[in-house]
Amino acid sequence: MKITLKNIIQIIPRYSKNVFAIFFYKFLSFFYTNKEKFRNAWIICERGIEAQDNGYMLFKYIRTHYPEKKVYYLIDFSMPDYDRVKELGNVICYNSYKHKMALFFASHFISTHVGFMMPWSYLLFKTLFRGKKNATYVMLNHGVVKDDDSKKMNKRLTGLDIFVATTKPEKEWLISNRNYGLKEKDVPLTGAGRYDYFTKKQPEKQIVFLPTWRKYLIERNIEQKNNYDLVKDFEKTTYFKAIFEFLNNKRVHLLLQENNARLIFRPHPEAQRMCSLLTHLPCNIIIANNDNTLLLDLLQESAMLITDYSSVAFDFAYMKKPLIYYQFDHQEFLDKHYAKGYFDYDQDGFGTVVNEEDQLINEIERIIANDFSMEELYMNRVDNTFLFHDNKNCERIYNAIINYR
């Protein structure tokens, strides 16, 4: 990233404020009366606003099987997902005084997203107080690494000790690409914790549409990690127009009606605000709200997935159900967002890759006619990708953390 005068003007006061806050709360921690409660504890977090991913599933596993373990979950109590996690106990309100105190005494920081565990600068906090000697940093990740994320996810920048791998190709990529700075012992192959949620439930006649986000389509608030705005004239972007036109396609409406099926569109959390722009859709097309729709339920209940580049395709393929990659902005995505890794969608993907809307609808029609079954080619790719199908992923993750070092 090119450093400009504007970047420097923004960064200096922000980091100065962070340094002051960290030292202030460190001073207060000397007088904190409940320090033993959090000493050597494990703290688990997703983004501080949800509990429905690998973090939540690992926390649930530990609370169920090792209730004596000092493990705590971070989430804003005003968020809908709090109701899901509070029954497990040991929940700390995100950005609260207790949250800030716990950070100075915990021994393990376990997260699906780098930087969201701390309410201030992650790197400053780790550098100043909770370095490698007195804390272990674990990346559960919220997806499968398939692209080259080494510029922002390398060990030098993140200081991660453990990077949990879901698939064998992912593990090999993280170790072989020297830019990540990870060694064999740093990357346990365990499977994704959230896969323990999946059962062999019969799916409904339901298609779920889950395009991923584009980092160039939002403007993030520097001071508040979970606050952002869609870019100006968002309705004119290729991304919005492709989604809008597909959801409003008369041929799609007729296809759903004839097959007594429905389509559910769940925007990526970063693009949730686009829901207000999608109106007057037929009753068999549903816009799902991230606040009250658990993604794992959607994936398990659906018979077909449409995505673009999202690693959610791995989750769906894991259950051996058909999917389509609708890459409507391929060149733009390559230029502005994507850094190619080991994964090739045509050679390694779990479904057909299409670029045009008509191609997409033809493929939907074909899969419906084939009774929503996955083709043998893609079934074989699933078998070659996933090492585990035993619902013991959280158990392996827990043991990998326990046995590290």
Whole-angstrom Cα distance, residue 116 to residue 140?
13
Distance CA(242)–CA(356), nearest Å, equals 9
Per-residue confidence band for 170, with pLDDT thresholds at 50, 70 and 90: very high
The residue ranking higher by pLDDT, 43 or 199, is: 43
Q: Is the pLDDT of residue 13 over 90?
A: no
Query: Whole-angstrom distance between the N-terminal and C-terminal Cα of the chain?
Result: 34
Rounded (10°) angle between helices 393-403 and 54-65: 80
For 323-366, write each residue's pLDDT tens digit.
999 999 988 888 876 778 899 999 999 999 999 999 999 999 99
The structure's pTM equals 0.88
Average pLDDT of the residues in 257-277: 85
Neighbours of 382 (CB within 10 A): 18
Instruction: Classify burial at 347, counting beta carbons within 10 Å of its beta carbon; exposed 0-12, middle 13-18, buried 19 or more.
Output: exposed
Percent of the chain with pLDDT over 70: 92
Same fold, 5-196+392-403 and 197-385: yes
pLDDT of residue 2: 46
Nearest CA among 237, 248, 244 for reference residue 333: 237
More confident residue, 381 or 199: 381
384 vs 278: which has the higher pLDDT: 384
Model confidence pLDDT, tens digit, residues 212-235: 888 788 765 555 555 567 778 888
Res. 8: pLDDT tops 50: no
Decide if pLDDT at 5 tops 60: no
Q: How many CB atoms lie within 10 A of CB 152?
A: 10
Is 12 strand, coil or helix? helix
CATH number of 197-385: 3.40.50.12580
Is residue 20 pLDDT above 80, yes or no?
A: yes
**Taking residues 52-61, what's their average pLDDT?**
96
3-state secondary structure of 219: strand
Q: Are 75 and 51 in contact (CB under 8 A)?
A: yes
5-196+392-403 folds as Rossmann fold (3.40.50)
Tell me the H-state helices in 104-213. Answer: 122-128, 150-153, 155-158, 168-176
Instruction: Give Dmax (Cα) for the chain.
Output: 68
Ranges of each domain in the chain: 5-196+392-403, 197-385
pLDDT at position 122 is: 78
pLDDT tens, position by position, 307-316? 999 999 999 9
Could you give the CA distance from residue 196 to residue 273 in angstroms, rounded to a whole number?
30
Q: Which residue has the higher pLDDT, 334 or 369?
A: 369
